[in-house]
Structures are given as C-alpha cells and as structure tokens.
Amino acid sequence: MTEMAIDNDYADIREQVERICAGFPGEYWRKLDAEAGYPEEFVRALTESGYLAALIPEEHGGVGLPIRAAAVILETIHASGCNAGACHAQMYTMGTLMRHGSPEQKAKYLPQIASGDLRLQAFGVTEPTSGSDTSSLRTTARREGDHYIVNGQKIWTSRALQSDLMLLLARTTPLDKVAKRTEGLSVFLVDLREAVGNGLEIRPIDAMINHNTNEVFMSDLSIPADSLIGEEGKGFRYILDGMNAERILLSGEAVGDGRWFTQRASQYVSERTVFGRPIGQNQGVQFPIARAHASLEAADLMARKAAALYDAGQPCGPEANMAKLLSSEAAWAAGEACFQAYGGFAFAREYDIERKWRECRLFQTAPISTNMVLAFIAQNVLKLPRSY
C-alpha cells in the first residue's frame, strides 16, 4: 500500500461528476422526495457517463477503475447535494457476479449492466425475522431438475421495482443438515422481468426517506438452475466478500454528505447577521462545525486506507468497518451542526437541510448498524469475548 494510493484524489473525476450534479439542483430532489419518485434522469446521466460501470472491467464493457475512484464518484455526488442511494448498488451489487460468476454469466450480464441496458440494483438478503443474522434466514431454494423452487420473504430490498435483476440469498441445505449455520446458503441472480407475477411479488414500503425500498414475497418461484452463482452452499462467503466494498463506497457517500453540511453551515453562519455581527463569530457556533470537519477528515483518511488495502488485494475488513462507523457518525455530527446553525430555517424544505439530514441518518443503520460494527471490532480486532 503506497502513499499515492491513499492520497489519490481524482480531481478530474470530481470535476466531471460535479458538472453532472449541477444539472440536478435541490428542487429536483425535493420534487422526487414529495412524490416518492425515482430519479430516472439522474440515473440515466450517470449511466451514460460511464460512472455506474466504474468497477466493471474494461473487457466486460466497464471502466475498470479502482474502488477509491468509485468512492470519489459517490462522495462527490453527495457533496454536491444529490443522492446516489437510488443507483449506488449498480456499482457494487454486481461484484458478486464479477468475482464468483461463471464466464458465461459474466459475458451475458456484465456488458449489459455496464451499458445500462440491464439494471442490477436489488439485493435480497434481509428478512423480517432474521435482520442482520443472515445465517438464520428462512427463504429456501429447492433444486428440482433444471430449476430451483424458491419460497420466502425479503424486506428492505431497495430498488427492486427499478431493477431488472436481483441478487438473492437463500438456503439450499436445511439448517439442521449443516455443520455451521453459515453453510448451505446460496446466491442466485433472479431475472425480475420474468419472476414478477410468476411467483414473486414486490410491495413498496413507505419510509422516512425516499429510498425506493420494498418487501419481496416469493411463493413457489421457479428459476433456472443456471441462476446459481458459484457453488451451491457457498453463498454466505460470497456475500461477505462483497461487504467490504459496500462499506468503503458508502463511507464515501457519508463523507460527501458531511462535506455538504459543513460547507452550507460555514457559508450561512458567515453571512447570517444577528445583533450586528455574523453568528459565525460566536465560538458556540464555530466549534460544532469545526469539530465535525475534523471528524470528517479522520473518517476520510480511514476510508482511503480501506480503499487502498482493497485495491491492493489485501484484507481490509477492520478498516472498511471502521471507515463506515467513523464516516456515518461524522456525517451525522455535521448534519446536526448545520441544522443547529440554521435554526428554524433548517426545517424549511427549500434549504434541503432537512432532506439531507433524514438521508444522512440512514448510514448509522444500513447496510450495517453502528452496534454491529462495534461488535465486529470488539470481537475480531480486539479479540474480546463474543457477546452471543
């Protein structure tokens, strides 16, 4: 891992992404938020620019950039006041296919995902009864000839209605037939264009933020046997393999939100005059913004380290998880400082602060909660006794 790998800031990518985002100002996102709409135009612009195919190798029609560059893309989107939540999974969900799919699957799907002709943005893992305890999921896939029959339910499956394909984790060997709970799970690539209405139903969830999330119900859903990615029963390992990338990329989004908050707060308190002077002269106003900035810089350094390790092919689980933890908390602190600095105006939708504040809160819950990260650090890094 070199110093250059950590310091690479991709100024040209930042400039180009900022230019795209300039075409989607606050009113665009406020309208979508009010309608619970999907940002089709924004996603199309990112797709046509090639940025959603950043991690797909060039031989499969992508750009073949390192994960640090992909994180910069997402950070810049959020720092510009936009939100990549509608499409960021197009960047990393296909990682399971890229690393564990067959040559035939890669040749069939990756070029179309890179071009935007196919959307792979849905990830069916979480269930109502298991939550983060992935090894206890109840969705089953039973092999029958050249098909699998799937039964079960997924929840918080974002963008399923806007996706053509969905990665699905299901149990192919009953829990009482495996030595470890993490065994017997398999990953499938489900074609939603064929599945919806033929054993699969998608129901939107009305949520606090406009994240286009859903429940997915599967009842005797029949999918071709070649939907299986990798080996049967090895799916849990495949899913874990992609989680570090997800943590690193979402850390970039959180840092971007934090930078948006500190920039907006700094500008406002420098211009807002009360009792004859800018409120930014008061240390009680300055200090929360300054502390948030310092925390964001620290989180950014950890995210850069995690990305450098990932790109070098080295283990990065602790760094990726710590980057997610630090960036989510730093972004939230920046949001709080900005909200407090604006006072009552922060509640007005026209300033976009309350929208970004709601969106930013998600990072402490998904895709993994703060407490789950702390448990990982305690037990896997510090080697403390397991709490379960």
Q: CB-based burial of residue 197 (10 Å sphere; 0-12 exposed, 13-18 middle, 19+ buried)? A: exposed
Beta-carbon contacts of residue 149 (< 8 Å; ≥ 6 apart):
141, 142, 220, 221, 222
pLDDT tens track, the chain, 388 positions? 444 456 678 999 999 999 999 999 999 999 999 999 999 999 999 999 999 999 999 999 999 999 999 999 999 999 999 999 989 988 888 889 999 999 999 999 999 999 999 999 999 999 998 766 777 899 999 999 999 999 999 999 999 999 999 999 999 999 999 999 899 999 999 999 999 999 999 999 999 998 899 999 999 999 999 999 999 999 999 988 788 999 999 999 999 999 999 999 999 999 999 999 999 999 999 999 999 999 999 999 999 999 999 999 999 999 999 999 999 999 999 999 999 999 999 999 999 999 999 999 999 999 899 999 999 999 999 999 987 6
Strand partners, 148: 143, 223
pLDDT at 92: 86
Domain boundaries for CATH 2.40.110.10 within the chain: 120-235
Domain limits, CATH 1.20.140.10, in the chain: 237-381
- CA 235 to CA 225: how far, in whole Å? 15
Beta bridge partners of 167: 123, 189
At residue 6, the pLDDT reads: 63
Half-sphere exposure of 9 (CA within 13 A, CB side): 5
Amino acid 1: pLDDT: 44
Known catalytic membership, residue 246: yes
Number of separate helices (H) and strands (E) present in the chain: 14, 10
Q: What token pair was written down for 377?
A: 């650090």
User: Which one of 1.20.140.10, 2.40.30.10, 3.10.450.50, 3.30.70.580 gives the CATH number of domain 237-381?
Assistant: 1.20.140.10
Q: Find the catalytic residue in 127, 232, 246, 319.
A: 246
CATH class of 120-235: mainly beta
pLDDT at residue 39, as a whole number: 96
Q: Beta 214-224 vs 200-204: how paired, if at all? A: antiparallel
Scanning the structure block, which residue is given the tokens 């599967």?
A: 218
pLDDT value of residue 267? 98
Q: Topology of 3-115 in CATH?
A: Butyryl-Coa Dehydrogenase, subunit A; domain 1 (1.10.540)
Q: Give start-end residues of each CATH 1.10.540.10 domain in the chain.
A: 3-115
